[in-house]
């Protein structure tokens, strides 16, 4: 599907939809903040319209961006953080390379060995086998890597380092992702997963993790 075809039949033009989605994901603005911002520009819409745009367009934007993603480094700094969905804590598994470029992420309701294995398997499927994986002291992550090595999903040659210091990069990077309070929280797990995908995408753009000009040419 061509980029322009994504907006056919919409009441609002691409020039309105794309900035609203980008501002919602990139800055500490709620959907109601954006409604007021649009009113100042003479554009009347509802906060639910903006939220629907986010859910509709983030997967498409991500699909196009990933076609031009740059290779990531071979040292994966992995960690988990937490986000509340419908009043309950869920867990966001994330990894960045030593330069701070986002490797991958996974939102999971449980925080256990199975979730960690899903995260590592997903990241390896997308980026290939890492050279080394620094981990903190969380036992489930170490066990997940051990089990994936025995299954052949992770090569046995991949090094595992237990280092709180090496993971400072990903822990600092969590701060840019956790912009949930201005968004008034999440009501559904699926909605949270797509929105976080969009936030991660804006961070990849900020970090120049893709061939930006080629991506813009398609969009």
Average pLDDT of span 38-62: 93
Asked whether residue 46 falls in the same domain as residue 117, the answer is: no
CB atoms closer than 10 angstroms to residue 110 = 11
Determine, yes or no, domain membership for 125.
yes
Q: Which domain holds residue 99?
A: 77-177
What's the mean per-residue pLDDT of the chain? 84
Determine, yes or no, domain membership for 183.
no
Question: How would residue 174 be classed by pLDDT, with cut points 50, 70 and 90?
Answer: confident
Q: Give the Cα-Cα-Cα angle 34, 48, 185 (nearest 5 degrees).
A: 80
Asked whether residue 160 falls in the same domain as residue 201, the answer is: no
Determine, yes or no, domain membership for 166.
yes
Name the E strands within 70-118. Answer: 77-85, 88-96, 102-108
Task: State residue 29's pLDDT score.
Answer: 84
What is the pairing mode between strands 132-135 and 159-162? Answer: parallel
Task: State residue 187's pLDDT score.
Answer: 83
Asked whether residue 171 falls in the same domain as residue 196, the answer is: no
Asked whether residue 150 falls in the same domain as residue 207, the answer is: no
* Interval 111-148: pLDDT, tens: 999 999 999 999 999 888 899 998 888 899 999 999 99
Asked whether residue 83 falls in the same domain as residue 171, the answer is: yes
Determine, yes or no, domain membership for 71.
no
Task: State residue 30's pLDDT score.
Answer: 87
Task: State residue 215's pLDDT score.
Answer: 52
Check if the beta carbon of residue 198 is closer than 8 Å to that of residue 58: yes
Asked whether residue 126 falls in the same domain as residue 41, the answer is: no
Global pTM? 0.80
Rounded to an integer, what distance in angstroms lies between the CA atom of residue 133 and that of residue 169? 13
Domains of the chain: total: 2
Asked whether residue 99 falls in the same domain as residue 122, the answer is: yes
Phi, psi angle pair for 99, to nearest 5°: -95, 0
Task: State residue 170's pLDDT score.
Answer: 80
128: domain CATH number is 3.30.420.10
Task: State residue 136's pLDDT score.
Answer: 82
Determine, yes or no, domain membership for 182.
no
Higher pLDDT among residues 208 and 39, named by residue: 39
């Amino acid at each position: 599907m061509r980029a322009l075809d994504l907006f056919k039949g919409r009441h609002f033009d691409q020039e309105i939809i794309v900035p609203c989605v980008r501002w919602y994901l990139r800055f500490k603005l709620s959907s109601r903040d954006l409604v007021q911002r649009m009113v100042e520009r003479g554009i009347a819409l509802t906060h639910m319209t903006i939220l629907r745009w986010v859910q509709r367009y983030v997967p498409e934007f991500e699909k196009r961006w990933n076609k031009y993603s740059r290779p990531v480094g071979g040292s994966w700094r992995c960690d988990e953080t937490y986000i509340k969905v419908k009043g309950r804590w869920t867990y966001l598994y994330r990894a960045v390379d030593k330069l701070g470029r986002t490797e991958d992420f996974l939102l999971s309701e449980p925080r256990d060995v199975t979730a960690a294995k899903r995260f590592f398997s997903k990241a390896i499927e997308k980026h290939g086998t890492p050279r080394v994986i620094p981990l903190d002291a969380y036992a489930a992550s170490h066990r997940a890597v051990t089990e994936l090595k025995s299954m052949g999903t992770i090569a046995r040659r991949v090094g595992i380092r237990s280092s709180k210091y090496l993971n400072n990069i990903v822990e600092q990077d969590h701060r840019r992702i956790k912009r949930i309070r201005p968004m008034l929280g999440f009501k559904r797990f699926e909605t949270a997963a797509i929105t976080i995908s969009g936030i991660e995408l804006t961070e990849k753009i900020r970090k120049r993790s893709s061939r930006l000009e080629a991506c813009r040419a398609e969009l």
